[in-house]
Structure 1
């Protein structure tokens, strides 16, 4: 059996943030070249590393932690400034949370790590981040500050705008740069195996091409994307227009500089313990990475 004989297993984030990427496939405009597996980022991280997925979006901090991963070129989920779906919900500004327990989502590595870096590098304290199965529930019960991602974060910010602190905006205030929250990644050994097989090499190149075509479709047909988003999570009129304007799906030079700044700052304050290769630029071609 060749490296690509079995159907390819591809991850997909179970939030509305990736609909501009996947709407073309959902609507039947493009046929996805594999089997899609939908899950929260932390589960996609685990499954990709375990070899249960061939490719998919993973938390950018998880990518930074694991040298055995490589990225598909030009693809990310990030923000230029505010993110809207990564929030600290707190009755006081995050700079005032030193010594306070902060309930944190376990659904993503990047949101927790980014908040950790902001507190250490920006506010001068190491936050007491306590993983929780229901961080917003804790906040609702007793006011515990919490870090949230995804649609739960959006809904919490809409419900409590006076207590919502957009972590993407906090990062921009600290660094003046973009932030990348997720990248499309593969295990290096899996990519090598595919690239040695003509059929596998064609599949990888076709996947990258189709994902970029899908993003182009999403941008050109935002009304259809928003219609899908409203069916998934109904939100106030105009919300998704602003949300998708805030997000960035191109791993371009600006995004890569922001990601590099995050990794450097994370190393300097002890959140990340290894050097990180900056992900591939849009003009790069998929290649077999060096050992």
Structure 2
């Protein structure tokens, strides 16, 4: 990779990252970027394969391969309470899910890990987890006992009449720990940062600048999201106001606590240190 080659940047294909990528895609913020879109699990795979240089990724991906990555400073995605797009929807009260099947998406790793911590450690039950396409199942007439919905799917299914019991996992985490929850981070591959340090740092600065651009134009973000997702501008304005795109000390503390819990539960070998790219 040369210093002048475009940096391959991964973009999660959900509305929640629109504030980070729209300014770049619209030419409002310049940077040496070539954007690749996909669900979180696919971006994780591409990053591990060396096919992305900088990418948004699930928080647990960093925990599982921290030796390969550096975190981008000042940039993450999470919530300080209701997140609205990571929901456990159930036909039964949560305590009655013990031994029952909970459908989870194969497209997310962090949200599934948080769900398992919540149900197994916080509630004290042991459901069975099954991977599958929830929207397709519901459209086909299936009614799983419970399912985890994320991203745009969660926004669409939040008020499904057959699922009266609903838990917002961002709110669950805040009630449990008193801390923000970070669902996703932006990472640079260490090899890319060594091979093209100036270009990778410039790409990181462009992503942070895009975040700042959108923070000053919430009405633009809401209008664009409404047009892309089929929701009202008011609903999108409220949705984005509930998201956190900063990665300050409290957000870092919340992520460190999550990693420590994952390690204690045996879901990861050890809780990694948070190491940042110098930009």
Q: Structure 1: which 5+ residue stretches go unaligned?
A: 195-200, 287-291
1:253 maps to which residue? 249
Partner Cα distance (2:115, 2:24) in 1:
33
Partner Cα distance (2:91, 2:232) in 1:
24
Contact 2:78 2:180 in 1 (8 A): yes
Contact 2:222 2:234 in 1 (8 A): no
Contact 1:84 1:154 in 2 (8 A): yes
TM-score w.r.t. the length of structure 1 is 0.88
1:33-59 per-residue CA deviation (whole Å, 9 max, x = no partner) reads 211001011100000110111111000
1:249-275 per-residue CA deviation (whole Å, 9 max, x = no partner) reads 111101011111111111222222222
Following superposition, the deviation at residue 5 of structure 1 comes to: 4.5
Instruction: Answer yes or no: is 1:96 the counterpart of 2:89.
Output: no
Partner Cα distance (2:31, 2:84) in 1:
28
Partner Cα distance (2:70, 2:94) in 1:
33
Instruction: Answer yes or no: is 1:285 the counterpart of 2:278.
Output: yes
Instruction: Answer yes or no: is 1:115 the counterpart of 2:115.
Output: yes
Following superposition, the deviation at residue 277 of structure 1 comes to: 1.2
Partner Cα distance (2:86, 2:97) in 1:
17
2:235 maps to which residue? 239
Aligned-residue RMSD, C-alpha: 1.8
1:154 maps to which residue? 155
2:56 maps to which residue? 57
1:101-135 per-residue CA deviation (whole Å, 9 max, x = no partner) reads 11100111111011011112201233311111x12
Partner Cα distance (1:14, 1:118) in 2:
26
Instruction: Answer yes or no: is 1:190 the counterpart of 2:192.
Output: yes
Partner Cα distance (1:210, 1:105) in 2:
31
1:138 maps to which residue? 137
1:218 maps to which residue? 214
Partner Cα distance (1:267, 1:126) in 2:
18
Question: Residues 229 and 32 from structure 1, CA distance in 2 versus in 1: closer, same or farther, beyond 3 angstroms?
Answer: farther
SS class of match (1:224) = helix
Q: Structure 2: which 5+ residue stretches go unaligned?
A: none
1:173-195 per-residue CA deviation (whole Å, 9 max, x = no partner) reads 2222111011111222222222x
Partner Cα distance (1:135, 1:274) in 2:
32
Contact 1:82 1:246 in 2 (8 A): yes
Partner Cα distance (1:239, 1:70) in 2:
34
Following superposition, the deviation at residue 137 of structure 1 comes to: 3.8
Contact 1:256 1:279 in 2 (8 A): no
1:196-207 alignment, distance < 5 Å: 201-207=197-203
Contact 2:188 2:200 in 1 (8 A): no
1:13-24 alignment, distance < 5 Å: 13-24=12-23
Instruction: Answer yes or no: is 1:80 the counterpart of 2:72.
Output: no
1:163 maps to which residue? 165
TM-score w.r.t. the length of structure 2 is 0.92
Partner Cα distance (1:155, 1:253) in 2:
33
